[in-house]
Amino acid sequence: MKISVLGCGRWGSCIAWYLDKIGHSVMTCGLANAPEFIQLKETRKNDYLTFPPSIEISDNLEIAVERAEVIVISISSQYLRSYFEDISKYSLDGKTIVLCMKGVEAASGKRLSEIVSDFVDKDKTNVAVWVGPGHPQDYVKGIPNCMVIDSDNQEMKEKLVNEFTSDLIRFYLGTDLIGSEIGAAAKNVIGIAAGMLDGLGYTSLKGALMARGTREIARLIKALGGNEMSAYGLCHLGDYEATLFSSWSHNRKYGESYVKGVKFEKLAEGVMTSKALLKLGQDYNVDLPIVEAVYSVLFKNVDAKEALNRLFVRSVKKEF
């Protein structure tokens, strides 16, 4: 397949490397003045991997869009709307867009596939999401994992799973687009909470965080019209190891750095996602105590230790 990967960051470069590795024709496209693009263009490598000669590297968005059967997008989720204002200048009819990014738009509370639907005719342009656990640092070492592709288009979803599956990444067919997107986005907020626990020396509370976090997000998914059991799959609970425990998790590291007063320079999607999920919880009348705790620390300057103590020392109640 002719595939263009838009975004040259940690995940974008890994996706391009992976899809080339399993035999597809891949072009990676980034902003000409972005440091990560410049590094790849000049050296064909970054902090995670080295590109083979077979991957084309371009800063020409028009060429990248027009050549592709499949367009994989991996950028900061909060910039997806403005990015699509540029992409939608070109014809997307007959193409498949795969969103390999995890977030919810903070201003509107919209899922990422909903943002894309504001710009494309879904009868002419297929939209899918690629979610689940994994780190580029593991994949380049040949360490396998499992991920999910989900979409409202069953035929296209099955085609992508068949085309993208390999011994390195086994893909499952998602059955709940709402749950897949919300679960994947929300795990980053739980990851920040986990990092705060690490930073405070409360790592032993991660078990409680995992149990309660999954149930909390399941309630939200159900309220939004999805299947609450999706929260227990690879999009959310299945991604906890990579997000709540790994030293490579940006969100976990952000939470830990925050409570230690150390500046963290890399993207942590869970920050703005906490704001978006809080809005959804209020709009749909869903109690989201973990989301509220993270939001209160990041946006209201509530002391992290106080917020987390209050979270885990609540009034007596049933476990679920």
Mind telling me the catalytic residues? 187
- Helix/strand/coil for 248: coil
How far, CA to CA in Å, does 300 sit from each of 60, 292, 297, 307?
A: 41, 10, 6, 11
Distance CA 71, CA 6 (A): 7
Of 138, 134, 267, 238, give the one whose Cα is nearest residue 180.
238
> Can you tell me the distance from the alpha carbon of 5 to that of 72, in angstroms, rounded to the nearest whole number?
5
Residue 234, sorted as left (phi over 0), alpha (psi -120 to 50) or beta, turns out to be alpha
Paired sense of beta strands 126-131 and 145-151, if any: antiparallel
SS3 90: coil
107 backbone dihedrals φ, ψ, rounded to 5° = -70, -35
What is the C-alpha separation between 50 and 140, in angstroms, rounded? 9
- Tally: H helices and E strands in the chain: 14, 8
Measured in residues, the chain has a length of 320
Q: How many C-beta atoms surround the C-beta of residue 75 within 10 A?
A: 22
Cα–Cα distance measured from residue 233 to residue 239, given in angstroms and rounded to the nearest whole number: 8
Which secondary structure element, helix H or strand E, spans residue 98, and what is its range? Answer: strand 96-99
Are residues 222 and 188 in contact, defined by beta-carbon separation less than 8 angstroms?
no
Dihedral sign from CA coordinates of 53, 56, 59, 60:
positive
